[in-house]
Amino acid sequence: MRESIVRMEKAAKTFATPEGQTITALGGIDLDVRRNEFLTLLGPSGCGKTTLLQAISGFVELDSGRILIDGEDMTDRPPYRRPVNTVFQNYALFPHMSVGENTGYALEVAGIGRQDRARRVAEALRMVGLEGLEGRKPRQLSGGQQQRVALARAIIARPKLLLLDEPLSALDKNLRQAMQIELKTLQHELGISFIFVTHDQQEALTMSDRVAVLSGGRIQQLDTPRAIYDKPRNSFVATFVGASNLFEGEAAAGRLVTTDGIAISHGEQGSTGAATALIRPEQFFLADPGQAGPILDVDLEQIVFVGSTFELFGRTATGRRVIAEIPAMRRGLVGEIEQSRRARLSYDPSAVHLIPAEAA
């Protein structure tokens, strides 16, 4: 069995705008999606996520490059002959068909008999928690239920790969979180690969085996959620995924000095030259009086209580913005700094990540 279910080689696509410019939607993408993998495409709106999905499903014709699914070249195959199914962003349920007809559409088109179909429709609807709703029309369902019908319809023909284009973006927060877990479970049960598109970094981190961060039609980084978060390869990934404090400067062994004279200690002994140091807000803690080790002094502009943490917004003496996140259990300390409007932030140098300048 091949290790990769989808392979993209130098996939490129540009669009011409009415104003006469060209937009690079896919800038020569190489991508391998593994069997049984939950892969998320994460990126800001307009970065090419939908185009990438549609290149796989066949609705976008590549300018150059090729696409293999399960080892077979799909580049010139029409969408209806590709072994992938899609859950569309707006669900795209057929309004004139019942839930049962919608769900069984792929089987009907494939010429599978009525009885077989009814059985498999019932099974698919059960998997998404909608048993017995065959007779309803899509408009008689809530948004969440419509979402599930779209899901049932897309998995009923057992595709080798399921593509999901921002499927949860229209749902409210609670439903969304419930669906995130259900999708994971479903993917596990089905044993097929999912390519999931989102612009929500939290969603990407919680659901995925691997995340591909896209920007400007290129994959900026393809890695596990932890690697994406802890070791972003460039400052785009660092700022897009999670909150971040970035310090550009000149790195020497164990130390990076910014142009405005701030020294950041770091644990990456080998790195020298121009680089950017990344410190996540939660890596800061409030230093005890007289504590040794690296310290960053900031003037506080705002302290925001968000439940589990306090968020501190401050500036260094040279005016550089710093965000820190302090666990709410350290209320006493926060009370003190609220008085003084100053904080001494300390951090563990080994947690500081250095991004080499050529990548940033």
Partner 1 sequence: MKIFASLARGSLVAYTALFFAFIYIPLVLIAVYSFNANPINMMTWSGFTTDWYAQVLGYKTAITGDAFYVESTDQLVQAVFNSLKIAASTTLIATVFGTSIAIALYHFDFFGRRFYRVVLFMPMLMPDIVLGIALLIFFVNSGINLGLKTIIIGQCTFLTSYVFIVVSARLSGMDRTLEHASADLGANEWTTFRKVVFPQLLPGILGGALLAFIISMDDLVITYFIAGVDVTTLPMFIFAMLRRGIKPEINAIAVMMLSFSFVIASLGLYLRSRQK
Ligand X SMILES: Nc1ncnc2c1ncn2[C@@H]1O[C@H](COP(=O)(O)OP(=O)(O)O)[C@@H](O)[C@H]1O
Which distant-in-sequence residues (6+ apart) come within 8 Å of 340 by Cβ?
A: none
Give the interface segment with ligand X, choosing from 46-54, 239-247, 302-310, 349-357 (CB under 6 A): 46-54
E strands in 43-78: 64-69, 72-73
Strand, coil or helix: 359? coil
Using the rule CB under 6 A, which residue among 46, 216, 349, 356 binds ligand X?
46
Distance CA 211, CA 226 (A): 10
| Binding flags for partner 1, 152-191, as an x/- string (CB under 8 A) | -xx--x----------------------------------
Instruction: Identify residues 3-22 at the interface with ligand X (CB under 6 A).
Output: 15
Using the rule CB under 6 A, which residue among 29, 39, 40, 49 binds ligand X?
49
List the single partner that 118 binds among ligand X, partner 1, Mg ion, none, CB under 5 to 8 Å by kind: none
Q: Is 25 in the site for ligand X (CB under 6 A)?
A: yes
DSSP secondary structure of 206-261:
HH-SEEEEEETTEEEEEE-HHHHHHS-SSHHHHHHSS--EEEEEEEETTEEEETT-
Q: Please, which residues bridge with residue 246 across strands?
A: 278
291 φ/ψ angles, rounded to the nearest 5 degrees: -70, 140
Question: Considering beta carbons, is residue 207 or 326 the nearer one to ligand X?
Answer: 207
Torsion of CA 227, 230, 235, 237, to 10 degrees: 50
Which distant-in-sequence residues (6+ apart) come within 8 Å of 251 by Cβ?
A: 266, 268, 271, 272, 273, 274, 275, 277, 354
Question: Considering beta carbons, is residue 99 or 214 the nearer one to Mg ion?
Answer: 214
List the single partner that 23 binds among ligand X, Mg ion, partner 1, none, CB under 5 to 8 Å by kind: ligand X
Using the rule CB under 6 A, which residue among 1, 3, 22, 45 binds ligand X?
45
Q: Is 25 in the site for partner 1 (CB under 8 A)?
A: no
Instruction: Identify residues 74-133 at the interface with partner 1 (CB under 8 A).
Output: 78-81, 84-86, 88, 90, 92-96, 105-106, 109-110
Identify the sign of the CA torsion 95, 138, 48, 67. Answer: negative
Distance CA 239, CA 278 (A): 10
Instruction: Identify residues 48-87 at the interface with Mg ion (CB under 5 A).
Output: 50
Q: Is 235 in the site for partner 1 (CB under 8 A)?
A: no
Question: Considering beta carbons, is residue 110 or 306 the nearer one to partner 1?
Answer: 110
Distance CA 281, CA 322 (A): 8
Question: Considering beta carbons, is residue 40 or 103 the nearer one to ligand X?
Answer: 40
Residues in contact with partner 1 by the rule CB under 8 A = 57-59, 78-81, 84-86, 88, 90, 92-96, 105-106, 109-110, 153-154, 157
Residues in contact with Mg ion by the rule CB under 5 A = 50
